Amino acid sequence: MRILVTGAGGFLGRHVARRLLTDGFEVTGFDLVTGSMPDISWVEGDLRDHDAVATAAHGHQLICHLGAIGDVYMAAEHPALAAQVNVVGCANVALAAEAVGAKVVYASTWEVYGKARYEPMDENHPCAPDHPYSITKLAGERILLAADLLRRVPVISLRLGTAYGPGLRPNSVFRVFIDKARRGEPITIQGSGLQGRQFTHASDLAGAFSSACKSDLHGDAFNVVAPEQITIKQLAEAVVARYPTEISFGDPRPGDAPPAMVSAEKAGRLLGWEPLVSFEEGVAGLMDDLEGGG
């Protein structure tokens, strides 16, 4: 079976593409710039270009749609670009999937829920995002699920936990803390440090995509998050345990999604997904990778 992975050149896209290859799928990557992963063919293109997406989709039975403006800072600074890529891009993927009879597995985010009204938040929790990133990701999700309902395009949306692992962007909190600590510079936590996230390793998220590709389910959304909430202070402490340096505190960062516990029970029950990488193991592996030049 052939799978088109949009955003395959990005951090999570690379992990998903590799996992799909390992699981026996034939993979094509679609991105603004072609990558160089072995055994993956590449198509260079822009999600905003309907014809480029439609051409890339030919001959594929599945589309794993990870391409997006995934950087929350960029989305805040350029909301129009985020809307074009994250919303129009999803519409183009839906039309391309309809034309070739492909199923779509979409990379959504837990941040679509906004402020928690109850915890743990399950898939029935109301969605009320208030940031250009999460707003556009939810809009893309709804366009794709509407295509499932109205155009018979099978769609599964995965509402992903905050991803980390080898290949993470330099401006992520993991990389900022690790890179500074390795240089002997102090780590600055923005806010109290008690804000938490269910950090989910990229290899576990890739496993969820593989499970969704193999599933006959469609027309539904699934939370895919690790079970443990880790505070930013705990993350900083894990880093300085290896690279001793000072930890200081600064002003809170505006626009941060409020912390909340999210339930992945449904993904475990219906997709057979479970996270395998503990936070301690994942952070240690990321630091090992960076020490090795990754």
- What is the residue-wise DSSP string for the chain? -EEEEETTTSHHHHHHHHHHHHTT-EEEEEESS----TT-EEEE--TT-HHHHHHHHTT-SEEEE--S---HHHHHH-HHHHHIIIIIHHHHHHHHHHHHT-EEEEEEEGGGG-S-SSSSB-TTSPP---SHHHHHHHHHHHHHHHHHHHH---EEEEEEPPEESTT--TTSHHHHHHHHHHTTPPEEEES-S--EE--EEHHHHHHHHHHHHH----SEEEEE--S--EEHHHHHHHHHHHS---EEEEPPPTTPPPP--B--HHHHHHT-------HHHHHHHHHHHHHTT-
Residue 39 lies in a domain: yes
Residue 172 lies in a domain: no
Residue 181 lies in a domain: no
How confident is the model at residue 34, as a pLDDT? 84
Residues involved in catalysis: 133
Residue 32 lies in a domain: yes
Per-residue pLDDT of the chain in tens (294 residues, 90 and over written 9)? 999 999 999 999 999 999 999 999 999 999 998 888 889 999 999 999 999 999 999 999 999 999 999 999 999 999 999 999 999 999 999 999 999 999 999 999 999 999 999 999 999 999 999 999 999 999 999 999 999 999 999 999 999 999 999 999 999 999 999 999 999 999 999 988 988 999 999 999 999 999 999 999 999 999 999 999 999 999 999 999 999 999 999 988 776 777 899 999 999 999 999 999 999 999 999 999 999 987
Q: What is the CATH number of the domain that holds 79?
A: 3.40.50.720
Q: What total of structural domains would you count in the chain?
A: 1
Residue 115 lies in a domain: yes
Residue 247 lies in a domain: no
Residue 142 lies in a domain: yes
How confident is the model at residue 252, as a pLDDT? 85
User: 14 lies in which domain range?
Assistant: 2-164+201-225+262-275
Residue 170 lies in a domain: no
